[in-house]
Chain A
Amino acid sequence: MYDILFLLLFPLIVAAILLVFRNEKIRSIIVKVSAAIIAIASIYVAIEYIDGGTVLFDFENVIVDYLMLITEIGLGIVIFYLGIKYKKYLVSILALIQTPLMVWFELTKGHDISISNYLYIDALSCIMVLIIGVIGSLITVYAVGYMKDFQKHHEGEPDRRYWFFFLMFVFLSAMFGIVTSNSLVWMFFFWEITTLCSFFLIGYTRTDEAVRNSFLQLVLNLIGGLAFVFAIVIIGSEHNILEFNKLLELGTGSMTVLLPIALLSLAGIVKAAQMPFHSWLLGAMVAPTPTSALLHSSTMVKAGVFLILKLSPSLHDNIAGEMVIIVGGVTFLLASMAAISQSNAKRVLAYSTIANLGLIVACGGVGVEAAVWAGIMLMIFHAITKSLLFLCVGTAEHHIGSRNIEDMDGLFCEMPKLAMFMIIGIAGMFLAPFGMLVSKWQALTAFVDSQSIILIICVCFGSAVTAFYWTKWLGKLVAIVAGKENVEKTVHREEWFVLGTLTALVIVTCLTFPLISEYMVAPYLGTAFATGGSAIAALGSGNMYILLAMLALILLLPIPFLGKTKKKIVPNYMCGVNTGDNISFTGAMNCETQISLRNWYMENWFGEEKMNKFGLVITIVTILAAIILIIGGVA
């Protein structure tokens, strides 16, 4: 148990130290050393517990409980105050409902419920610990180099980087808390801390836009938090339990269980940025890139899907599950479509994140073993690949001065190494031998098996659309454009280290796909589902070998062949008026005119507003209907 407590407390201590020592060099060393320690500790924890089934820990300490309660009240007051200060009264109102309700519950009813196991760890938690510990700490290391440039780009503004790193480490601690809490009250506590960290990190630059978007995030996540509180109150007062493992054992026969499960799913949906709550994730893109990578792609949003995947056995074949399926599926389809209409790389990544989370949420909603397998796999691969992509975009932005995909024309010539990493990242998101696609494949099979026609439609159309927006971006990257200079020499060493490691992780995780499945995911499925790890063989070993062979081909072929040709190199065809450099032609009146090649966005069909409108209507109606049906006792 102490190793887990170490994971919870160590980042907190580091955060506190970072708040004190504000010297850049010292901070850089502290961050790197502690990131290494966190990564090693989380790997240690994962190895220790991965095949031990569910291990519960007794942790009885009244002081900690009161400390948490006080912190909670403090947070409530802070949120309330901020709402008043920035005239965002909705925030204050939500805080005013949520905090007193929770405090009242904890002091009265909750006080009498005895919790025997506050902490736990099982294989799924281990996977999450690995994601948070390894990827999270890599991103903090990346942030060391990135924030140097960031400060340079924002000259004249006060240096508040100590605050940035403080939040990052607090956040890591809170994430470890979410995935190892068995007590719902604790889980909620950590849940709220991630919300608040995210709020401060989005608002980090304190521009009007940043403040506006950070409050949007706060409002939506407070709604999710409120759902969480209601769930806790109902479970506590109706069943006298406050422990996750006991909640899952209740079965879903009665309304008083189904309703809190639906509410918890709703909290997960909000955190995972699903429609209709997805707009906060898009707004969050104003934050510095490490924030986007850490919170909004690889970890915080994963807390949402983690909760839904945990609830998954209780979501099978009931109205709460249907709600989750429809929300996830529709979000996957519509967010993928909206991604087509975006040219801002970070927004494309944001939409793609929302879409992929939608798929994972849908997997959770189906609630059968094979689907949950796919969901967990998707979660692992998405965390690695998406953080790589975010960080690549961040580095590119600082060196080519834009995060617009249209300006990434010929990135292959300007930043060859970075472009290579980015290409691997993009390929990892949707192409055949890579993990995301294989997981998606399993998800599709599971959806067909569970006869869910809505999800079949969403996946069939959604994946077609996904291939479109990724490949058009890929096309921009691979284009060989004349007259570009290499500008990647000034990229910080930390950034290279992290990008390289993540790229290696993308490849290694794909190569070790069967091992991950067998030694990490199967143990969890064995404990969570009665059938016990039978779905893993669904992909078949024959296919696995073919995929691995394809992957090996893709990785090895470029070494002897890419960039080598004996052919004569000639200029492009431009109707005979190419001036010879491929980027300009002789136009009317013999003027030299630059060519400019642009992508397709199909605004009329896949415009953001249209997709959002559809999505909001469908998902809001679904959620309301589901909750009303449950309360009404119809389901």
Chain B
Amino acid sequence: MNTISMIILVVGYLILAPILGCLLAGIDRKISARMQGRIGPPILQPYYDVRKFIEKDQITPNKVQDFYVMCFLLFVIITGCIFFSGGDLLLVIFALTLANVFLVIAAFSSNSPYSQIGAERELYQMMAYEPMILLTAIGFYLVSGSFQVDTILTSSEMPFIYLIGIFIGFLFILTIKFRKSPFDLSMSHHAHQDLVRGLTTEFSGRSLAAVEVSHWYENIMLLGFVFLFFCNGTIAGYIAGIIVCILAYFLEIVIDNCFARMKWQVALKSSWVVAVMLGVINVGALMILL
């Protein structure tokens, strides 16, 4: 990938990702509402919410929390930029971990009971999905011989063909990453209020807006991972990738609406079992075959 197209992609990501992410979140709420027999909010509702957070009076529990939240947003964006500029998948994963650590620390910093439980659960979720994400990157490496996104992008065969197990495993942990039921443990969503707002309990105003916006960025990047499974350097591959991205997101919405929240224990057990059964076996098979 040459420098100019790299810059175009990064700038495109910086501008388009929040727009797409916001629309996706809006459509998500609309579809969820329809599935529940409701009309639902306008599609731009997530945007309205964020603008409102910015409009409100700004409060904070301490002097440091905002800094950590800002770092979270910043590093999520950096992560996305690395991904869309065709960077190293492992670097993407590590940068994302760093960003998430900032979010967790922000929640810890207030020493508030609810946000601390949320923070612990967020950490726990990270522990649950991390092995599968690493295995995904390793899978791509084994298929295309490189961790670089731009090399994978132009691989001659669809990685999906070799990585079916890993793909399913990745979809599984995507439920955690998108913060959907049954694994929306660390933050509340829908009417769940057992942890108040979990991790975000002490966030408000602009810092809450930053968390929202960074989710938009993050979700688009995660869909980028899904896209990567299908590209084979041809237009047909790209189109297939985009269609599967949409389907994957729709699947997550369906899962979200069909499942009640599960006990926290299930998240780790199930995602590790998935990582071993689908991820490790897929990687092992690739090693034997390729």
Given A572-B110, A572-B112: A472 and B123 interface contact (C-beta under 8 Å): yes
Asked if A468 lies at the interface with its beta carbon under 8 angstroms from chain B, I say yes
Asked if A37 lies at the interface with its beta carbon under 8 angstroms from chain B, I say no
For B141, the closest partner residue in chain A by CB is A448
Asked if B116 lies at the interface with its beta carbon under 8 angstroms from chain A, I say yes
With A563-B63, A563-B64 already in contact, 15 other A-B pairs whose C-beta atoms are closer than 8 Å:
A409-B111, A431-B98, A431-B101, A432-B94, A460-B279, A471-B105, A475-B120, A480-B109, A540-B88, A564-B67, A566-B58, A567-B58, A567-B60, A568-B57, A582-B112
Asked if A617 lies at the interface with its beta carbon under 8 angstroms from chain B, I say no
Query: When chains A and B are docked, how far (Å) is the Cα of A243 from the Cα of B162?
Result: 49
Chain A nearest CB from B176 CB (Å) reads 12
Pick from B98, B111, B147, B268: contact of A480, CB under 8 Å: B111
Asked if B233 lies at the interface with its beta carbon under 8 angstroms from chain A, I say no
Q: Give the tally of cross-chain contacts (CB within 8 A).
A: 178
Query: When chains A and B are docked, how far (Å) is the Cα of A461 from the Cα of B58?
Result: 40
Instruction: Tell me if B's interface is mostly helix, strand, loop or mixed.
Output: helix
Chain A nearest CB from B66 CB (Å) reads 5
Residues in B86-144 with C-beta less than 8 Å from chain A: 87-88, 90-91, 94-95, 97-98, 101, 104-105, 107-114, 116, 119-120, 123-124, 126-128, 130-131, 134-135, 138, 141-142
Interface 1/0 per residue, A565-580 and B, CB below 8 Å: 1111111111000000
Query: When chains A and B are docked, how far (Å) is the Cα of A431 from the Cα of B104?
Result: 13
Q: Are B138 and A456 in contact (CB under 8 A)?
A: yes
Give the B-binding residues of A (Cβ under 8 A): 409-410, 431-433, 437, 441, 444-445, 448, 451, 453, 456-457, 459-461, 463-465, 467-468, 471-472, 474-476, 478-481, 540, 542-543, 546-547, 550, 553-554, 557-558, 561-574, 582-583, 595, 597, 599-600, 605
The residues of B that contact A474 with a CB separation of less than 8 Å are: 101, 105, 108
Q: Are A441 and B111 in contact (CB under 8 A)?
A: no
Pick from B97, B105, B138, B196: contact of A467, CB under 8 Å: B97
Q: Are B283 and A550 in contact (CB under 8 A)?
A: no
Give the A-binding residues of B (Cβ under 8 A): 57-64, 66-68, 70-71, 74-75, 78, 82, 87-88, 90-91, 94-95, 97-98, 101, 104-105, 107-114, 116, 119-120, 123-124, 126-128, 130-131, 134-135, 138, 141-142, 147, 196, 201-202, 205, 268, 272, 275-276, 279-280, 283-284, 287
Q: Are B112 and A475 in contact (CB under 8 A)?
A: no
Query: When chains A and B are docked, how far (Å) is the Cα of A448 from the Cα of B128?
Result: 22
Pick from A431, A463, A476, A543: contact of B130, CB under 8 Å: A463
Given A543-B91, A558-B67: A432 and B97 interface contact (C-beta under 8 Å): yes
For A605, the closest partner residue in chain B by CB is B268
Q: Are B196 and A573 in contact (CB under 8 A)?
A: yes
Q: Are A432 and B205 in contact (CB under 8 A)?
A: no
Q: Are A546 and B82 in contact (CB under 8 A)?
A: yes
Q: Are B63 and A564 in contact (CB under 8 A)?
A: yes
Query: When chains A and B are docked, how far (Å) is the Cα of A448 from the Cα of B139?
Result: 10
Q: Are B61 and A546 in contact (CB under 8 A)?
A: no
Chain A nearest CB from B172 CB (Å) reads 15
The residues of B that contact A558 with a CB separation of less than 8 Å are: 67
Q: Are A475 and B88 in contact (CB under 8 A)?
A: no
Q: Are B90 and A565 in contact (CB under 8 A)?
A: no
Q: Are B287 and A478 in contact (CB under 8 A)?
A: no
Query: When chains A and B are docked, how far (Å) is the Cα of A437 from the Cα of B91?
Result: 10
Given A431-B98, A600-B120: A546 and B105 interface contact (C-beta under 8 Å): no
Q: Max chain B CB contacts within 10 Å: which of A409, A432, A433, A550?
A: A432
Q: Are B112 and A569 in contact (CB under 8 A)?
A: no
The residues of A that contact B88 with a CB separation of less than 8 Å are: 540, 543
The residues of A that contact B287 with a CB separation of less than 8 Å are: 451, 453
Q: Are A468 and B127 in contact (CB under 8 A)?
A: yes
Given A568-B57, A570-B61, A573-B201: A464 and B130 interface contact (C-beta under 8 Å): yes
Pick from A431, A433, A565, A597: contact of B111, CB under 8 Å: A597
Q: Max chain B CB contacts within 10 Å: which of A410, A460, A574?
A: A460
Query: When chains A and B are docked, how far (Å) is the Cα of A540 from the Cα of B149?
Result: 14
The residues of A that contact B119 with a CB separation of less than 8 Å are: 475
Query: When chains A and B are docked, how far (Å) is the Cα of A570 from the Cα of B61?
Result: 5
The residues of A that contact B70 with a CB separation of less than 8 Å are: 561
Pick from B58, B91, B107, B112: contact of A546, CB under 8 Å: B91
Q: Are B66 and A565 in contact (CB under 8 A)?
A: yes
Query: When chains A and B are docked, how far (Å) is the Cα of A191 from the Cα of B34?
Result: 72
Q: Are B126 and A456 in contact (CB under 8 A)?
A: no
Query: When chains A and B are docked, how far (Å) is the Cα of A582 from the Cα of B114?
Result: 12
Given A478-B105, A543-B87: A573 and B78 interface contact (C-beta under 8 Å): no
Q: Are A475 and B104 in contact (CB under 8 A)?
A: yes
Given A468-B123, A569-B62: A460 and B131 interface contact (C-beta under 8 Å): yes
Q: Are A574 and B67 in contact (CB under 8 A)?
A: no
Q: Are A568 and B58 in contact (CB under 8 A)?
A: yes
24 contacts between A and B (CB under 8 A): A444-B138, A448-B142, A456-B135, A460-B138, A463-B134, A467-B97, A467-B123, A472-B120, A475-B105, A478-B68, A478-B109, A480-B111, A540-B88, A546-B87, A557-B71, A561-B67, A563-B67, A567-B58, A567-B59, A567-B60, A569-B61, A573-B196, A573-B202, A600-B120
The residues of A that contact B141 with a CB separation of less than 8 Å are: 445, 448
Chain B nearest CB from A553 CB (Å) reads 7
Chain B nearest CB from A234 CB (Å) reads 35
Q: Are B63 and A468 in contact (CB under 8 A)?
A: no
Q: Are A464 and B126 in contact (CB under 8 A)?
A: yes
For B129, the closest partner residue in chain A by CB is A464
